[in-house]
Amino acid sequence: MKNIKIGHHIIAQNSPVFIIAELSANHNGSIKTAIETVRAAKRAGADCIKLQTFTADTITLDSKKEDFKISQGTLWDGQYLHDLYKTAHTPWEWHEELMSVAKEEGLICFSSPFDKTAVDFLENLSVPAYKIASFEITDIPLIEYVASKGKPIIISTGIAEIEDIELALDACRRMGNNYIALLKCTSSYPAPIEEANMSMVKDLAERFNVVTGLSDHTIGSTVPVVATCFGAKIIEKHFILDHSVGGPDASFSMDEKEFTEMVKAVREAEKAIGVLNYTLTDKQVKGRDFSRSLYVVKDIKAGEVITEKNVMSIRPGFGLHPKYFNDCIGKMAKKDIEKGTRFSFDLIEIN
C-alpha cells in the first residue's frame, strides 16, 4: 500500500485514521454558518474539512426535461437537478476565507471539483489534495486532469463496479499519479447499514494496493468503527453545525455532538485493534497471579501418597504449573505438608 501525505498528515498502514468532516451543503447559504461549521469540526476532532466546488451550471443543465428530474426514491425526488445544485453549492467566493479559517484552526482543507474550471480554481488556492465524488468516478477526463496536478487523489466508489475503479486508477497512473486512496461508499442518502459492506474496505486495499477508507452516509458511528477495524485509514462523514440549520444533506449529517462521539469511538477502536503481539504486558504478567496452579488442599503426612483429593489445580497461580499434575499423582510426600502450601517437586519423592 503506497502511503499518501495530505498537508502534514501521512496516511499509511500504521497511521491514525484521517477523519474528514464534509461541509457539503450544510451551510444552507450562509457563510457565517459555514465558518462556524469549520470551527465546530475542529472541536469535534476532525483532521480535515472538505468542500465541494461546483455551480449548478458546471454540474448539470438548467433543463425541465424529464431526464433532469429526480425520481429515484431519494430525499430530493421531484426536484430538478439544476435547482437542487443551485441550492446546495458552496459559493466559490467563500472558498478562500473558509480555507483561511481552517488553517487558523489547524485543519486541512481541500475540495471535490466537478469540472476542470473547478480544478483550476482550486489550484490557485493551493489545495493539498483532491476528492473525486462517487458519481464522478466515470468521468475519466476529469480524473485525468485532477491526477495531472500530482496531488493525492481520493476517490469514492459509491456507484462503481470493478471496471469503473480500474478505469479510474488507470487514469491516475497514466498521469504519473500513484498517490491514490479509494473510499468504500454507499450512494444512498441515508444509506442502509446492511448495505455498508465494510469487508470491501480490506478487499479494495489488497486488490488495488492503495490506501482505503470510508465515505459514510449511514446514521450513527457503527459503520465508521467497523471500517476502522477493517483497515480504513480515511473516514469521511457529512458534518452540520446543528440539524436546525436544515438543507439538502441535513438528515444524514452528524452534528458536533454526534461527530465528537464518532471520533472518540474511532480512536478507541484504533487502540483496541492494537498490534499482533503475544508478549504479555507487565499488568498482564501480574494478572497471571490469578491463574491456576497446584496447591495442597488437605494436610498431608510424610510418606502419604499424593492424590486428586489432597493436591488440586486452583487459584492463585504461585504453585507448580498444572501441566505437571499427572506427574505428581501417586508420588509420596517427603515430609508433612500443611493445607494451603504451594505444591512443588521438592515436596515429593522422585524415583
Encode pLDDT of 271-321 as tens digits: 999 888 888 888 888 888 999 999 999 999 999 999 999 999 999 999 999
pLDDT at 1 over 80: no
User: What structural domains does the chain harbor?
Assistant: 4-54+89-273 (3.20.20.70), 282-347 (3.90.1210.10)
**What is the residue-wise DSSP string for 25-70?**
TTTTT-HHHHHHHHHHHHHTT-SEEEEEE--HHHHS----SGGGB-
Asked whether the beta carbons of 241 and 40 are under 8 A apart, the reply is yes
CA distance 236 to 48: 9
Question: Which grid coordinates are listed for 334?
Answer: 517427603
The pLDDT score that the predictor gives to residue 70 is 80
Q: What does pLDDT average to over the chain?
A: 94
Kindly tell me if the per-residue pLDDT of 72 is higher than 80: no
Q: What is the pTM of this model?
A: 0.87
| pLDDT at residue 237, as a whole number | 97
Residues 75-95 have a mean pLDDT of 87
Cα(219)–Cα(340) distance, integer angstroms: 57
CA angle 173, 178, 181 (to 5 degrees): 110
User: By C-alpha distance, which of 288, 287, 311 is closest to 300?
Assistant: 311
Q: Provide the pLDDT confidence category of residue 75 given band limits of 50, 70 and 90.
A: low
